Amino acid sequence: PGARGARPAPRRLEEVRPDARRAQAIREEFVHAWEGYKRLAWGHDEVLPVSGRHREFFAEGHPMGLSIVEALDTHHLMELDTEVDRCVSWIKDRLRFDIDADFQVFETTIRLVGGLLSGYLATGEQVLLDRCTDLADRLLPAFTTSPTGMPYRYVNLRTGRVSGATLPLAEIGTNILEFGTLSRLTGDPRYGRAAKRALRAVVGRRSPLDLLASRMNVESGRWADRTALAVDPPADSFYEYLWGAWVMFDDEDCRDWFRLLTAALKKHQVERVGGLLWFKHVDFRTGALVNRRQSSLSVAVLPVGGDDELAADYYRSWTAVLDKYDVIPEEIDYTRLAALSRGNDLRPEYANCAFQLYWQTGDPYYRTTAWRYFQNLREHHRVRNGYTVVTDVTRRPMPKGDHCPAYVFAENFKWLYLTFSGTPRFDYAHGYLSTEAKGLRGLRRAEGRAAAGGTR
């Protein structure tokens, strides 16, 4: 989608020198989490590993096998081919989308559309691309019925009825990597075109300071608040996907929008406290201070734009938080590194950023800190039936909740494994992963897999 130009030359390691011992330890913990899911929740969306129950993520009574889809390309990268086949068989036999229920467009796109795409790219199994195309067709009314082109928050997968006119920035603009990849694979431009139109609509409504607020009414095209959150959610992945569209599709518009918007947030929102870099929340029209809160989800955003110096500074800020708590709290007051939201929902963003910066710089510091993250993950989140959230990172021992989010199978262990394994199944020189760690470029198929096609 969009204008085309010379593809940027990414500053990335062409290969990662394997650390076989640490890669194997990471792989073993992924398998431990996966075996708990298989025992207790197979076919359901998410496992509750402490109570031994399960839950659905999208719609009660409608299991989508979300953890199965999320895990598919992680299994592939870790050469767990029996599990790849098990997941593909379940999708072929059980996964259908003719469902009379409202599905959140953002989560469905990054997790199910993205997971089916990366699964197809890893295996060549046509059934995965067929299911993905069917699902994307059911999501398109969220875009095409909107008067602005920005998607509604929900769509009924059976009827196409849309709902939810006011939604966060990230949910409006985190579509182009998945939809653009689907357009490229199918030759149907509708998906990428819809995602690009949504991005254009948001950027055209930026403030005179070139800042974006955090919530928009997609029917009226009016902002629903005035707070510019910079790299914090619910704005974070909007910026990731602008840069991703440039790297993946040579989209010069998205490159220019990324540079315009990130220049503004660097000008108006950057500040340093105690030598550490943070991004204050400000009024998007005036630049006036709103607060100094920061979410742990924000750490993964900066490396995608190739600003290694700023990204490295921000990573060191969050490493200071890791040093203080061992497990990073959900939200902090960065003036004191004080935990405002004390839980940790098995967030993968620190590991994501460690991989990205190691991949871009080769600096062993990022491996050292990623390994400490992994050790703390294993110490504080591991339970008999897998991994679970913790409810208070300030207490010892950290009290555990009862939930393993499906994204754990897509993200935490994959980011870590790619950092240490040097797996031949990933093209480090040219690969690209989505915000949900789905391999949308650079997955190498196992020997014997079809180059394209496969079972239906």
- Mean pLDDT, residues 69-98: 98
pLDDT at 7 over 60: no
Condensed to tens digits (0 to 9), the pLDDT of residues 218-264 reads 999 999 999 999 999 999 999 999 999 999 999 999 999 999 999 99
Residue 131's nearest CA partner among 159, 96, 179, 98 is 96
Q: Residue 6: which pLDDT band, with cuts at 50, 70 and 90? A: very low
Which of 418, 353, 408 is CA-nearest to residue 71? Answer: 408
C-beta of residue 41 within 8 angstroms of C-beta of residue 405? no
The CATH number corresponding to 20-441 among 1.50.10.10, 1.10.599.10, 1.10.3720.10, 3.20.20.60 equals 1.50.10.10
Report the alpha-carbon distance of residue 219 to residue 152 in Å, rounded. 8
Per-residue confidence at 454, pLDDT binned at 50, 70, 90? very low
| Residue 322 pLDDT class (50, 70, 90 cuts) | very high
Whole-number pLDDT of residue 455 = 39
Confidence of residue 450 (pLDDT cuts 50, 70, 90): low
- What integer pLDDT is reported at residue 453 of this predicted model? 39
Q: Model confidence at 10, in pLDDT bands (50, 70, 90)?
A: low
pLDDT in tens, 381-428: 999 999 999 999 999 999 999 999 999 999 999 999 999 999 999 999
Asked if residue 334 has pLDDT above 80, the reply is yes
Q: Does position 11 have pLDDT exceeding 80, yes or no?
A: no
Mean pLDDT of the chain: 95
| pLDDT of 302 above 90 | no
Tokens of 405: 């989010």
Higher pLDDT, 12 or 336: 336
Q: Is the pLDDT of residue 429 over 90?
A: yes
pLDDT in tens, 96-120: 999 999 999 999 999 999 999 999 9
Instruction: Give me the residue label for tokens 């409810």.
Output: 391
What percent of the chain is predicted at pLDDT more than 90?
93
Q: If we measure between CA atoms, which residue out of 181, 188, 179, 185 comes closest to residue 149?
A: 179
Residues 210-216 have a mean pLDDT of: 98
Task: Determine the pLDDT at residue 449.
Answer: 65
Give the residue among 271, 272, 314 at the shortest CA–CA distance from 295. Answer: 314
Mean pLDDT of 339-361: 96
What torsion do the CA atoms of 99, 102, 106, 111 make, to the nearest 10 degrees? -30
